[in-house]
Amino acid sequence: MKFLLNKYLMNLNRGKIKYLVIEEHIKKLIDKSNIKDGEKLPSIRKLAQFLGVNNITIVNAYKRLQSEGYALQKMGSGTYAKKRDINRNLNREYSRVLKKIFSSEIRCYIDFTGETSSGEFFQINLFKDVLNEVLDRDGSSALIYQEPLGYEGLRKSISDIFWNNSVNAENILIVSGAQQGIDVVSKSILNTNDTVIVEKPTYSGALSVFKSRKAEIVEIPVEKNGVDVDKIEKILQKNNVKCFYTMSYFQNPSGISYNDDKKRRILRLAEIYDFYIIEDDYLSELIYDSNIKYNSFKSLDQCDRVIYIKSFSKIFLPGIRIGYLIPPRKFRENIQNSKINTDIATSSLMQRALDLYIRKGMWKDYISELNVKYKDIYIYTEMCISKYLGDKVDFIKPGGGLHFYLRIKENIQIDSISLFREAIGRGVLITPGSLYYKNPLEGKRYFKIGFSHVNKEDIENGIKILNELMI
């Protein structure tokens, strides 16, 4: 039969509910384009006879396909395959799977989806002492008093410790993590149909925000040391671009970092063509390669063209949800007002605790310790990838951060979406690359492995399982 529906399908899946087996098989055929979008499915009677099941079984299978967006019934004509919006549906599927697993079953899985540092390395007793000191010092003010721009002490600490007082504390805005920072900035500066340049691939959360603002999104492929600057200039010559969103260190997901030459060239273009750079400074604290030097776009900015966003949640405790942004003077008031309209203020107690933690030197000690521990895990993960997947994937060595981005070689049949689904059945969680592209089909050969929440034994076992699945 044209649709590759094997009449031995039921025999191969004894013990399973028949209509679910048929539904899953047809879904796979549609996802792989063996059944084309809009192609008519076999009639209920014809398919039932071919598979040796009753008509009700096929009716139930087709109903489920319709409910999940894989089929469309036309009255008097039949049932037709429907190609889903891969990115939207994959996002939902990915989120649904992780929510279910993280709520009750995560201990049963090897989790390569982590994007934050592990709480296992955090010295919680030290932080408890800091919290108690803040409560003793500030009393109820620590819980009640709110400052719309953020706790003044924390803003001064950020200015002093992280920027050597080169940034005025009054120009620092505390936000609830990088995601809120991107959202606040977008609401402040983007209008419908404004053009935004992003890296390809890029952080899916940023793509979602820009889409919600109905912006025109233009992708520029990332190279070894950042995006192709010549391609950016060609776009700038033909389009009125509002901003360029970038992750300057260990980009999510590609893992690349910009060299200073590309940063300076992009900053010059921003001045010439009058656009702004939204810099999401992602995990730049975790540098393992001594050849990588830290200079943010913001630190090199001489013309006030960078909107700098930094999250403490990725590297610190995700649950505290604290980050900050530094806006250009032109947008300062708009961005501050947008933040206030979003949630009035970020947790006062946690801001005060983080401020004291930084002032006491604990932050510096914690980051130093984290670098030592994660460098060791990074090296081990790289070794396992090379050993077990070396003939099946290509990858760059990011030299820092908490993940690797792998490209499945052309001679391997499985794509990353199928690998994601099959790996779940073997107790392994990965992130398919399709989530990071405007056109998800461009990411089907890529997947991300994060090593922040996995011990060495599980890293090796998980990569061995992926090797077995990649045929």
- As a whole number of angstroms, the distance between CA 249 and CA 54 comes to 58
Task: With beta carbons less than 8 A apart as the criterion, state whether 253 and 201 touch.
Answer: yes
- Residue 1 is predicted with a pLDDT of 45
Q: In what order do the strands lie in the sheet with 393-395?
A: 393-395, 403-408, 446-450, 431-432
The CATH number assigned to the domain holding 439 equals 3.90.1150.10
* One domain for residues 263 and 288: yes
CA angle 320, 324, 330 (to 5 degrees): 155
Same domain, yes or no: 104 and 143: no
**Strand-pair partners of 428:** 110
Q: How far apart are CA 447 and CA 428, in angstroms?
A: 13
Q: Please say whether the beta carbons of 434 and 441 come within 8 A.
A: yes
Q: Is 133 within the bounds of a domain? A: no
> What pLDDT sits at residue 122?
85
- The answer as to whether 65 is a domain residue is yes
Domain co-membership, 344 together with 369? no
pLDDT for residue 103? 62
Output the domain CATH number for residue 48.
1.10.10.10
**Contacts for 142 with CB less than 8 Å, ≥ 6 apart:** 134, 135, 348, 349, 352
- Residue 139's pLDDT is what? 92
Do 310 and 166 reside in the same domain of the chain?
yes
- Res 35: pLDDT: 86
Tell me the residue length of the chain: 471
Rounded to 10 degrees, what is the CA torsion of 338, 340, 344, 350? 90
Burial of 164 (0-12, 13-18, 19+ CB in 10 A): exposed
Residue 174 CA to residue 155 CA, distance in Å, equals 8
**Residue numbers of the domain that contains 48:** 9-83
Shared domain check, 404 and 297: no
Ramachandran sector of residue 94 (left: φ over 0; alpha: ψ -120 to 50; beta: rest): alpha
Predicted pLDDT of residue 15: 54
Given a contact cutoff of 8 angstroms between Cβ atoms, the answer to whether 104 and 301 are in contact is: no
Residues 55 and 92 in one domain: no
Q: Which residues neighbour 7 within 8 Å (Cβ) at sequence distance 6 or greater?
A: 50, 51, 52
- How many CB atoms neighbour CB 13 within 10 A? 15
Are 163 and 102 found together in one domain?
no
pLDDT at 169: 95
Q: Could you tell me the CATH number of the domain that includes residue 144? A: 3.40.640.10
Determine phi and psi for 405, rounding to 5 degrees.
Answer: -115, 120
CA-CA distances (angstroms) from residue 66 to 61, 75, 219, 244, 392?
Answer: 9, 13, 33, 40, 36
Q: What are the angstrom distances between the C-alpha of 332 and each of 216, 278, 342, 461?
A: 24, 14, 15, 49
Q: Which is nearest to 46 in space by CA: 62, 30, 33?
A: 62
- 352 within a domain of the structure (yes/no): yes
**pLDDT at residue 462, rounded to an integer:** 97
Strand partners, 200: 221
Mark whether 58 and 168 lie in a shared domain: no
CA distance 232 to 234: 5
Whether this prediction's pTM lies above 0.75 is answered by yes
H-run or E-run covering 246: strand 241-246
**Are 272 and 320 in a shared domain?**
yes
> How many domains does the chain contain in total?
3
| DSSP-based three-state secondary structure for 402 | coil
Q: Are residues 23 and 71 in the same domain?
A: yes
**Residue 304 belongs to some domain of the structure:** yes
Whether residues 144 and 103 share a domain: the answer is: no
**pLDDT at position 6:** 54
Say how far apart CA 22 and CA 58 lie, in whole Å.
8
210 and 258 assigned to the same domain? yes
- Domain end call among 83, 100, 124: 83
Point out the residues of the chain with pLDDT beneath 70.
1-16, 84-89, 98, 100-106, 344-345
Is 438 domain-assigned? Answer: yes
Q: Are strands 393-395 and 403-408 parallel, antiparallel or unpaired?
A: antiparallel
Tokens read off for 465: 């399982």
